Structure 1
Amino acid sequence: MKYAFLVLYIVLLVVVSFVASKKVKNLDDFHLGGRSIGPWLSAFAYGTAYFSAVIFIGYAGKLGWNFGLAATWIGIGNAFIGSYLAWRILGPSTRRMTQRLNVGTMPELFAARYGSKGLKIVTAAVIFIFLTPYSASVYQGLAYLFEGAFNIPFEYCMIGMAVLTAVYLLAGGYFATVLTDLVQGIFMILGVVAMIFCLLNSFGGGAEALSKLAAIAPQNVTVLGPDPLNLFWLFMLTSLGVWGLPQMVHKFYAIRSDKAIKTGAIVSTAFAVIVGCAAYFAGAFGRVAFAEVPIDPATMAANYDMIMPQMLMNTMPELVLGLIVVLVLSASMSTLSSLVLASASTISIDLIRGVFFPKMSDKQTKRVMQVFCLLFIAISVVIALGKNNAIVNMMAFSWGTVAGCCLGPYVFGVLWKGATRAGAWAGVIAGVGVSLALAFILGPGQAPFSGCMAMFASLLAVPVVSLFTKKTAAQELAAAFGTGE
């Protein structure tokens, strides 16, 4: 029975891919869905891209073990900072500016807003390079669960996911992505509700589960947990960091109207509350399920990434386990498609056409983008096959570097006319420089702190440098902001 949901899910994806392929006529359709995506589809696309296998496998297990119930604060931050405030503060300005400037990627936005081709090239390279290990962490997290649930070898799991991602993404592009995200989002909501119910029931009910956790680790049932400072870094990285991630911001380019953004903000926030908080809440009970962190038989070392898979294997009925696996598969596939599309479009539009072949037609650009979709998927799988045992660190480093690069130039670029080209360059250099320097000095274990420092450096550098450098020409500001803003 546990295969029933998996088969149903795959069939639905194939059907949606076929339907979406009929809607894609040009590059704009493939990349942005014709800029006509409604609020519900956009909100589900945003939410499902936000929460991947890394959340359910890496983050929920490790952070639930280390921070207990306080890890749920991260889910709350993801909902109200990463979702609601992002939509309300950035969504309208981003939609209007990208349509005025006729751009479809973050590097294109930077080039048009700041009048700098070099800025486009550098940010495109950073996005492609550092989103690759992020994608690899998603493949790896999901493969752990599949291996345990279906006894399918790790390598076969990742290859199967890669093929499935390639099929529906290449067939229908962004339109296929948002349609499948709606399907995936429904599976995710059903899955987390079933997961929480069955998990607590396996421990004797909610009150009994909390009592057991309090007896085992009293500090893990306090409001801020045993380590509030490190909890804060993770809260900020995963909540504010999404404001600078291209695959998330991309949803604002394609949405239909400002009115749709208001609806999308509410739907995406509700989705994040249900899915994000449930994941971290479930992870807190890892200490009830295990006396020690599970040992990875491949390395014979303790592996936090195995807490959630093994706990789910031990507590879920077979039918619910099948639904849970599809839940994590849904979360991962949507994130993967967003990552692949963001990276492939960056290379194809911003570098290949934008720098080397400016006369390339839309049809040719679409073909090149499809090739780079396949290449990005292949590279991510190769990295994931290395079985890095620190999924959380790998994701946090990638997330922090890309967010550090883009956050300041993007936020100030769409909200403040005073942001200058020199300020944007300062934000990119400060964000990437701080992330790489701290990763070298502090090591991968401090990736959340390093990522936050990179983000803060980018946000500080842009306004400070902008105040003391040459202002943007009035006609360029009018093109970006419109004459009435």
Structure 2
Amino acid sequence: MDYFSEHYVTLILTAVYVGGCLYIGWHFKKKANQGVEGYYVAKREIPGWVISLAFFSTSASTNTYIGQAGKSFEYGLSWAWMGLIWTVFCIISWQLLGPKMRFQTARLKSFTIPDYFHLRYKSNLAKSIRVLSAVIILFATLWYMIGIAKGCAHVLTSVLDIPYEYGAFAIIAITCAYTIWGGMYSVLWTDAVQGIIMFGVAILMLAIPFMYVGGVDNLMETIRSTDHLTKSGEPIKSGLVAFGELVSFLYILGIGLSVGMKQISEPKNLIRFYSVDNARSMRFAMIWTPVFLGISLVCVMGLGALVHGMASTEEANLLINDTDEVVGFMLDKFDNKFVSGICVAGLFAAGMSSLASVIIIIGTAFVKDIWHVAKPMSESKIVPRTKWFMVIYCVIVYAMTLYPMAGIVELTAFAGAVFAASFFPAIFGGLYLKWGTDLGALTSMIAGMLVNIVWRFAFRFEYEPLKDIHEIIPAFLISMLTYITVSLFSKKRMPDERHLEVVFGKTV
């Protein structure tokens, strides 16, 4: 009873939110199970405002609201530049990729990113590209899902005193349930609801440090002359407000590119373009998605730096060594049940929106793009088997979340780097370059994947001068160069003119 009286507001608000997500999943259960197109891409009938909010909410996940927000506790307000980088890539994604991807995937009857590669490049290598891209999805999303579940579990521990392992189980199990029930319908509609909540929570969280300290002037003066220490034990002094004093711009750029470029290469974002109902909806989303994302990022990217104004020296010494705990600490320190309840619901929304999107992507990748390719199955078996694999994968993610390999930011940034270097050249070439070939796509994927892994584990953390050069930079450059060079030298492998007319026919 003591526990409930202390946390009842947060528990009730969180329960209402979770119940709403489960209801949406159950509501769309029948509609989603009418075939592969319904379950995988919601029959391409989702309105633009839903797609816009869904893209925003899945882009700004726990990585943003907990991991990135907390990281500025260590790196200061300079970290807010990350928000600008992400917003630029959101604009690029919707302006450069969205309309063409919606058009081409509808003409090719593509339901997944891997089968887009197969149908677009159409050759004896296209099947191999499809399977390889599905394997890359399974590999990279594992890191990403662990980071998201880790962040949500930390918040539940800080605010509700729920043990880490129980919190991780709850977030994964709930999201898995409504995703399995309603497929892409429930993913997109719950994401839209989550986007509305997240937008409001971003503004609310930004206000908390100012309210706690007593206004803008008081807070800025406090963090400008703090006596807190850096992770290495040096005085921070004015580092929280001085650009580049606590972190190099090269590191900000690397992390910003790796996470921001997910918006132009990650399947969970790109699949949104498949489901838009018409060109008018696409135009709405092209304008408003960067607005939703940009405003939210401005609010949360520098939040950790402001939390220094709420922390004592002893508390700051603990938080600087585990910045994933900063947002939970802020809510606990502010000690307002109603505000904590709203924010926990918003942080749950941030995690669940991305988890749901990833869960369905890994299910479709394994069943339709690996299993179905290796051993073709009837359409009636594809959706049930997709559901079963989603459950199995979630169990694996939960087990690994109990022993995470790194912090939230590094986990999700590495996943983003793998997607950007492995997929973007093949996607951009498929959409814009008629002379792009299957061999160019295949070799660029392999190059992007290998350079990411080799640079991270053999160079970046082994040599001090390279530690701020994120793997996305060499991996993306080499992958893009590989695609262009190999495609130019293998022009004979281009699909025939008739197929290219289907792919690049006049956009309506």
Offset of 1:265 from its aligned partner? 1.7
The answer to whether the aligner puts 1:407 opposite 2:415 as a matched pair is: no
The answer to whether the aligner puts 1:222 opposite 2:222 as a matched pair is: no
Partner in structure 2 of residue 28 of structure 1: 37
Q: Tell me how far apart the structure 1 counterparts of residues 352 and 468 of structure 2 sit (CA, whole Å).
A: 24
The answer to whether the aligner puts 1:372 opposite 2:389 as a matched pair is: yes
**Which of residues 78, 91, 94 in structure 2 aligns to 1:84?**
91
Offset of 1:35 from its aligned partner? 0.7
Partner in structure 1 of residue 83 of structure 2: 75
Conserved in 2, the CA contact under 8 Å of 1:305 and 1:389? no
Q: Tell me how far apart the structure 2 counterparts of residues 431 and 150 of structure 1 sit (CA, whole Å).
A: 41
Conserved in 2, the CA contact under 8 Å of 1:393 and 1:448? no
Partner in structure 2 of residue 166 of structure 1: 176
Conserved in 1, the CA contact under 8 Å of 2:24 and 2:186? yes
**Which of residues 307, 327, 331 in structure 2 aligns to 1:308?**
327
Which shows bigger deviation, 386-395 or 446-455? 446-455
Q: Deviations over 1:393-412 (max 9, x none)?
A: 22222221122111111112
Partner in structure 1 of residue 485 of structure 2: 464
CA root-mean-square deviation: 2.0
Offset of 1:483 from its aligned partner? 6.2
Conserved in 2, the CA contact under 8 Å of 1:396 and 1:447? no
Q: Deviations over 1:84-137 (max 9, x none)?
A: 221111001101111111111111111111121111111111111221121011
SS of residue in 2 equivalent to 1:118: helix
**Which of residues 253, 269, 274 in structure 1 aligns to 2:295?**
274
The answer to whether the aligner puts 1:153 opposite 2:176 as a matched pair is: no
Q: Deviations over 1:156-198 (max 9, x none)?
A: 1111112211221111011011111121112112212221222
SS of residue in 2 equivalent to 1:3: helix
Q: For residue 315 of structure 1, what is the amino acid of its counterpart? A: F
Partner in structure 1 of residue 272 of structure 2: 251
Conserved in 2, the CA contact under 8 Å of 1:165 and 1:336? yes
Conserved in 2, the CA contact under 8 Å of 1:88 and 1:261? no
Partner in structure 2 of residue 98 of structure 1: 105
Change in Cα spacing, 1:260 to 1:434, as seen in structure 2 (3 Å) is: same
Partner in structure 1 of residue 408 of structure 2: 391
Partner in structure 2 of residue 180 of structure 1: 190
Seq. identity, %: 23
Offset of 1:145 from its aligned partner? 0.5
Q: Tell me how far apart the structure 1 counterparts of residues 468 and 116 of structure 2 sit (CA, whole Å).
A: 28
The answer to whether the aligner puts 1:333 opposite 2:352 as a matched pair is: yes
Q: Tell me how far apart the structure 2 counterparts of residues 278 and 404 of structure 1 sit (CA, whole Å).
A: 29
Q: For residue 114 of structure 1, what is the amino acid of its counterpart? A: Y
**Which of residues 38, 51, 54 in structure 1 aligns to 2:47?**
38
Offset of 1:310 from its aligned partner? 1.2
Partner in structure 2 of residue 421 of structure 1: 438
**Which of residues 12, 15, 23 in structure 2 aligns to 1:4?**
12
The TM-score with structure 2 as length reference comes to 0.89
Conserved in 2, the CA contact under 8 Å of 1:418 and 1:467? yes
Partner in structure 1 of residue 475 of structure 2: 454
The answer to whether the aligner puts 1:478 opposite 2:498 as a matched pair is: no
Change in Cα spacing, 1:87 to 1:145, as seen in structure 2 (3 Å) is: same
Partner in structure 2 of residue 345 of structure 1: 364
SS of residue in 2 equivalent to 1:104: coil
The answer to whether the aligner puts 1:323 opposite 2:330 as a matched pair is: no
Change in Cα spacing, 1:484 to 1:65, as seen in structure 2 (3 Å) is: closer
Q: Tell me how far apart the structure 2 counterparts of residues 383 and 87 of structure 1 sit (CA, whole Å).
A: 34
Q: Deviations over 1:446-465 (max 9, x none)?
A: 59711232222222221122
Matched residue pairs, number?
A: 477
Structure 1: segments with no counterpart, 5+ residues: none
The answer to whether the aligner puts 1:241 opposite 2:241 as a matched pair is: no
Which shows bigger deviation, 231-240 or 370-379? 231-240
Q: For residue 348 of structure 2, what is the amino acid of its counterpart? A: L
Offset of 1:443 from its aligned partner? 5.1
Q: Tell me how far apart the structure 2 counterparts of residues 129 and 328 of structure 1 sit (CA, whole Å).
A: 25
Q: For residue 215 of structure 2, what is the amino acid of its counterpart? A: G
Change in Cα spacing, 1:28 to 1:225, as seen in structure 2 (3 Å) is: farther
Q: Deviations over 1:362-392 (max 9, x none)?
A: 2210011111111121111111011445222
Conserved in 1, the CA contact under 8 Å of 2:41 and 2:184? yes
Q: For residue 403 of structure 1, what is the amino acid of its counterpart? A: A
Partner in structure 2 of residue 431 of structure 1: 448
The answer to whether the aligner puts 1:211 opposite 2:239 as a matched pair is: no
Q: For residue 319 of structure 1, what is the amino acid of its counterpart? A: F
Offset of 1:34 from its aligned partner? 0.5
Q: For residue 27 of structure 2, what is the amino acid of its counterpart? A: V
Conserved in 1, the CA contact under 8 Å of 2:198 and 2:349? yes
Partner in structure 2 of residue 54 of structure 1: 63
Conserved in 2, the CA contact under 8 Å of 1:294 and 1:306? no
Partner in structure 1 of residue 4 of structure 2: none
Q: Deviations over 1:229-271 (max 9, x none)?
A: 2111122222223211111100011111232111112221121
Q: For residue 52 of structure 1, what is the amino acid of its counterpart? A: S
Conserved in 1, the CA contact under 8 Å of 2:56 and 2:289? yes
Partner in structure 1 of residue 119 of structure 2: 112
Q: Tell me how far apart the structure 1 counterparts of residues 12 and 164 of structure 2 sit (CA, whole Å).
A: 21
Conserved in 2, the CA contact under 8 Å of 1:69 and 1:225? no
Change in Cα spacing, 1:387 to 1:430, as seen in structure 2 (3 Å) is: closer
Q: Tell me how far apart the structure 1 counterparts of residues 270 and 165 of structure 2 sit (CA, whole Å).
A: 32
Change in Cα spacing, 1:242 to 1:180, as seen in structure 2 (3 Å) is: same
Partner in structure 1 of residue 230 of structure 2: none
Conserved in 1, the CA contact under 8 Å of 2:60 and 2:350? yes
Q: For residue 326 of structure 1, what is the amino acid of its counterpart? A: A
The answer to whether the aligner puts 1:122 opposite 2:132 as a matched pair is: yes
Conserved in 2, the CA contact under 8 Å of 1:52 and 1:138? yes
Offset of 1:287 from its aligned partner? 3.1
